[in-house]
Amino acid sequence: MDLPERPVEVRNLMAKGDERAAMIYETIGVNRGYTIPHYNDCYDFAHMLILGRVPTGGGGDSVLSEATEVFEQEFPEVAREIAMHLPDGKTRRFGQAAPAASLSKIKN
């Protein structure tokens, strides 16, 4: 199976209630829960968007749920400062284009 087809297959399996697919999304969420606080060491931000094709569909809710749980339990002081968001499915599929389009124009 080619790489672009794999997330589609995982989403299809998740929609069918496959436990293996659920474990993939949970693992991604745990990963985000640990990495986002470390981004805070280098960048000053208050909001984090969970984007891309992988969290599109029901798996995105699992990613956000797991990330939030780890984030709040392991990094409570940072969790009070940063809010994680899961945009609607269409916005998630566009990934980086959505926040880039919302940036204000830089004046020279």
**43-74 pLDDT per residue, tens:** 888 988 887 777 777 888 899 999 999 999 99
pTM: 0.79
pLDDT of amino acid 62: 92
Q: What is the pLDDT of residues 10-34, one digit of tens each?
A: 999 999 999 999 999 999 999 999 9
Sign of the dihedral defined by the CA atoms of residues 54, 56, 59, 65, in that order: positive
d(CA 92, CA 98): 8
| pLDDT for 40 beyond 80 | yes
Provide the CB-side half-sphere exposure for 79 (13 A, CA): 13
Task: Enumerate residues 6+ apart whose C-beta is below 8 A from 71.
Answer: 32, 33, 36, 37, 78, 79, 82, 84
